[in-house]
Structure 1
Amino acid sequence: MNCKSKNISTDKSSTVIEKISLSELTRGTNRIFTLTNGKLETSLNGNSKTEEITQDNWAKISEAAEKINLEGISKLESPSTKRYSDAAFASFITITKNGTEYQSSEFDAGNPPVELNNLYDEIKKVIETKKSK
């Protein structure tokens, strides 16, 4: 019985979100926000800085990512197309889980597909908190 319960907990730990990136691109600007457990790396046109994030922030973000069907993330439809005319950043989210990267379809910054709303909002909360400090 003991061995079995250990195997179950090992199985759970093997399905871990390792990294989540939000990329926002437009002519002349390239912003990439990469979140891992305890860390936010921000890259603006190639200039990077790293900041700490709380365990609570990471838990909320990874929990939101866990609820997404990663196999279908690249097929999600964007609700708007302002990025086509450079009126909004072209954005996408990349989730790394168990060594595999899953990249969403492209969407306008601030207006992700419904399935990504929760995750996008949690990521933006952390980014905005760090900007205000």
Structure 2
Amino acid sequence: MKKILSLIVLTVVVATSCSTTKQKALKEDDNTISFTYSAVTRGSNNEVVIKDGTVETLQSRLSDKPVTRTLTAAEWTALKEVYNKKTVKDANLQNIVPPSKKHQFDGALGATLQITHNDIVYSSSTFDHGNPPSEIKELVNKIIELSALDKK
């Protein structure tokens, strides 16, 4: 009887330990991912940085001071779900072809997406603000939605 009881206790302790370790690893993984969206043209520099559970938005035409807010757990989860989709994960960001090139003649702000994961930086090629490539469109739209950028 003692052996059965100790076996049950040992199983519960191991299961709890594994669950805690897994939760800690997921939490640490959350802290190793950051997103930077930049939209630039002559006279304008907009940037959104999402990391460590915060969103920082800088619109240079409006202010030199960034607008910062904390993400809710639901917002962070939604952003990570979009990021973890196959189209984003498998996208070779620098090789994605933009659907339009108005940014090349000041017809649109030139935008880039930068994802940092485990200290490795992945950067997209430049695309038109408001018209991201289909492979990253959902992620870019989610980042803008969470930011204080003008939605225009």
Aligned length: 130
1:115 and 2:135 matched: yes
Superposition deviation, residue 101 in structure 1? 1.1
Contact 1:38 1:53 in 2 (8 A): yes
1:9 and 2:22 matched: yes
Within the candidate set 27, 32, 37, 2:47 is matched to 32
Q: Unpaired runs of 5+ in structure 1?
A: none
In the other structure, the counterpart of 2:73 is 55
Cα distance in 2 between the residues matched to 1:89 and 1:23: 9
SS at match of 1:79: coil
Among the aligned pairs, what percent are the same residue? 26
Cα distance in 2 between the residues matched to 1:131 and 1:55: 23
Cα distance in 2 between the residues matched to 1:19 and 1:89: 22
Q: 39-48 or 92-101, which moves further after superposition?
A: 39-48
Does the C-alpha gap of structure 1 residues 70 and 31 become closer, same or farther in structure 2, counting only changes over 3 Å? farther
1:101 and 2:113 matched: no
Cα distance in 2 between the residues matched to 1:21 and 1:34: 4
Superposition deviation, residue 81 in structure 1? 0.6
Provide the aligned C-alpha RMSD in A. 2.8
Residue-by-residue CA offset, 1:63-121 (whole Å, 9 max, x unaligned): 21222136611110100011011111100111111111111111101111111011012
SS at match of 2:97: coil
Within the candidate set 77, 82, 94, 2:102 is matched to 82
Does the C-alpha gap of structure 1 residues 112 and 51 become closer, same or farther in structure 2, counting only changes over 3 Å? same
- Looking at secondary structure, tell me which structure has more strand per residue: 1
Q: Rg larger in 1 or in 2?
A: 2
SS at match of 1:114: coil
Does the C-alpha gap of structure 1 residues 53 and 28 become closer, same or farther in structure 2, counting only changes over 3 Å? same
Q: TM-score, normalised by structure 2?
A: 0.71
Q: TM-score, normalised by structure 1?
A: 0.80
SS at match of 1:64: helix
Q: Unpaired runs of 5+ in structure 2?
A: 1-10
Cα distance in 2 between the residues matched to 1:127 and 1:71: 23
